[in-house]
Amino acid sequence: MTDLLELRNVSVFYGARAALDSVTFSVPHGGQVAVVGPNGAGKSTLFKAMVGLAPLRSGEILIHGRPPGEYRDPIAYVPQREEVDWRFPVTVFDVVGMGRYRRGRWLKRLSAIDRAVVHRSLDLMGIADLAERPIGELSGGQQQRVFLARALAQEPHVLLLDEPFTGVDIATREATLELLGGLKARAVTALVSTHDLDLASGRFEQVVLLNRRLISAGRPAEVFTEQHLQAAFGGQMVVVNGRAIVVDQCCGGHGPVGGVDACHCDTCEPADAVGGPER
């Protein structure tokens, strides 16, 4: 497969602090990539940089050798749930329909083709019966499915999912994995950030390991070595029975679940808003 996505020496700063430092890697067309690293490693910043929400200090991001802005909606981005204002008075259909609005079309009505794409996206995510429900009334798993349906409605070349498995039920987790499998068959490139190293190793063909800089990128067996994990997680890594296990201890420690447990305590900084710290 030829490379679809390339990052070349990408650096992003929040004030004087480097959130990403000279990150370089490429993703083949139709690749499925898990992006992993400790809290504050720059995973969310990476995705925001790719959609223009975090400006680059240096470097470039290319799709088929050209900047993303030269294409029409090449990248669909699903942020972490806590970054969304769920009180906004819109229905599920309205949210998914936003995936059909392209540059300069915000004041235009959805066409018949657009509406058909929205209905198909709702069906694919199993939420057609929720189309007229206010988004704020849904469960966390249902809200995640709505944003996945919106991403599908964009018909993207690249899909970015930021921590899609955090705080959702098993059914939504499996639906997300099934969606990724379907997108792979359609050669849609997907990057997924996760704290679950077992999931990253078992369900993804390529891993990008970050800690503000690139630690390693490649097949899971090549990336998840003790040396690489030590470089990424430092003192947060222990070796048990010959197996490296990572424990994020941002607030006194949480037990490892699938390798890493993300912290959701009230004392942590929120997930990285542009211009602010990243969790």
**Residue numbers of the chain with a pLDDT score lower than 70:** 1-3, 71-73, 102-107, 237-242, 244-279
Structure tokens that stand for 217 in this block: 């990128």
Helix (H, G, I), strand (E, B) or coil at 156: coil
The pLDDT value recorded for residue 153 is 92
Predicted local confidence at residue 17, as pLDDT: 93
pLDDT score of 265: 39
Q: Cα separation of 276 and 258, whole Å? A: 29
> In angstroms, what CA-CA distances link 230 with 91, 225, 242, 250?
45, 8, 14, 17
Going by C-beta distance under 8 Å and a sequence separation of 6 or more, which residues neighbour residue 117? 100, 153, 155
CB contact set of 168 (below 8 Å; sequence gap of 6+): 140, 141, 144, 176
d(CA 68, CA 51): 8
Can you name the CATH fold of 3-232?
A: Rossmann fold (3.40.50)
pLDDT on residue 72: 63
pTM of the predicted protein model: 0.80
Specify the pLDDT at position 217: 96
The 10s digit of each residue's pLDDT in 70-87 is 766 578 999 987 777 777
Task: Tokens for 110, please give them.
Answer: 């959805």
The pLDDT value given to residue 237? 64
Q: Give the H/E segment covering residue 87.
A: none
Q: Specify the pLDDT at position 234.
A: 81
Domain boundaries, the chain: 3-232
pLDDT tens digits for 91-113? 999 999 988 886 445 557 888 99
B/e letters for 129-140, b = 16+ CB within 10 Å, e = fewer, are ebbeebbeebee
Closest CA to 30 of 156, 162, 199: 156
